[in-house]
Amino acid sequence: MDSLLKHMVDMTGHRDHTMLDISVISAVQELAGAAQTRVLALTRLRGQVFVRARAVISAGGPARMEEHSDSAAPGEPLECYPALAACIAGHQASADTVCDDGRHMLWLPIWIGDKADTCLEITNPTPYSGATIQIVGGIVSVYRNFQNLLDYSERDSLTGLLNRKTFDDQLAKVLQSGGDYEAATPPGERERRQPPQTEKQWLAVVDVDHFKLVNDKFGHLYGDEVLILIANLMQSSFRAQDRIFRFGGEEFVVLLRSSTLADAHKIIDRFRINVETHDFPQVGRITVSVGFVSLNAAEAPVIILGRADQALYYAKSHGRNLACHYDELVETGQLHAVASNDTAEFF
């Protein structure tokens, strides 16, 4: 009982979705004695649902955010998990199956209203008793309720992405921690998993090209649908450990964790191409422009945002549908910084 209460306090003490994911799988892993527990993200893209692991913990190991070899892939189709697909289709509370190797898998979708964007997956060599399932169900209920509260305060009501206030808070935390975006990693493991020196944290500003024309020609309802579909494309294009925000209007911001410049270019450009090739109902083709910059903990947020905005402005003024890196523009002489101070940068 003391262990259960400790985990409940830990789960409800966070104001961050990543830490909440880490807390819930840590609680389930200990209290259920599972071989492995994962948080799965359920993403909808072009009418199809994809499954991608967001956080994982295995017996004897620490909880961590899941890494993916193909960071731009949306994940596996839900059809690859027949029992889970039937559970989602039937709006059921749980589903279980026995794998070919004899392992028992239990899925617990996190229903918020009639929609489930998250699911817990618990793997164990033997089936669970009714008492254990009851304990896990209680943990899932607390997780769902607290996730709902966080969503209400942290997310944009139209797109479901994190909102501007949450971005301000999280950018400040990243900079205060010296640019370490692995805040969800337990302290002992965090030191062991320091990223290579070539890896950095990145901030990208995304703007929908000619969005005013969409609203003027098709109306605000179709404009809102474009924003929702772009938000869906962002969630399926970027990695589970990256953070995506609606900054305001047709502008979005992404915080990319631990990537080289080449990887950042690849991830951002794949998202841009995903938008370019997507067929938006009634509207047709839409493109986005992106400006991005590496995070430097010694600089003020307004300086970092200003540089990303300048790279974005360059992309929009040079044909749009481009992804431009601030430092590359400066190094090649295409963008010139005249002066800077703690509050603004002039060009």
Question: pLDDT tens-digit profile of 58-67?
Answer: 988 898 887 6
Return mean pLDDT, the chain: 84
Burial of residue 82 (number of CB atoms within 10 Å: 0-12, 13-18, 19+): exposed
Give the least confident one: 14-23, 44-53, 68-77, 135-144.
68-77
* Confidence (pLDDT) at 337: 65
Rounded to whole angstroms, how far apart are CA atoms 136 and 30? 11
Is 159 within a domain? no
Q: How confident is the model at residue 197 (pLDDT cuts 50, 70, 90)?
A: low
Last residue in a domain, options 101, 121, 154? 154
> The CATH number of the domain where 110 resides is what?
3.30.450.40
Rounded to whole angstroms, how far apart are CA atoms 216 and 203? 30
For residue 121, pLDDT over 90 is answered with yes
Q: How confident is the model at residue 241 (pLDDT cuts 50, 70, 90)?
A: confident
What pTM was estimated for this model as a whole? Answer: 0.64
Q: How confident is the model at residue 7 (pLDDT cuts 50, 70, 90)?
A: low
Residues sharing a CB contact under 8 Å with residue 33, sequence separation 6 or more, in sequence order: 124
Last residue in a domain, options 134, 154, 174? 154
Packing angle, helices 301-317 and 164-176, rounded to 10:
120
Rounded to whole angstroms, how far apart are CA atoms 107 and 37? 10
Higher-confidence residue: 247 or 113?
247
If asked whether residues 149 and 172 sit together in one domain, one would say no
User: How many domains, the chain?
Assistant: 2
For residue 21, pLDDT over 60 is answered with yes
Q: How confident is the model at residue 185 (pLDDT cuts 50, 70, 90)?
A: very low
Rounded to whole angstroms, how far apart are CA atoms 53 and 121? 9
Query: For the chain, what's the residue count?
Result: 347
Q: What is the mean pLDDT of residues 245-250?
A: 94
If asked whether residues 126 and 228 sit together in one domain, one would say no
Q: Which domain holds residue 171?
A: 164-346
Catalytic residues: 250
Q: What is the mean pLDDT of residues 226-230?
A: 95
If asked whether residues 329 and 203 sit together in one domain, one would say yes
pLDDT, tens digit, 9 for 90 and up, residues 289-335: 999 999 988 899 999 999 999 999 999 999 999 999 999 999 998 88
For residue 193, pLDDT over 70 is answered with no
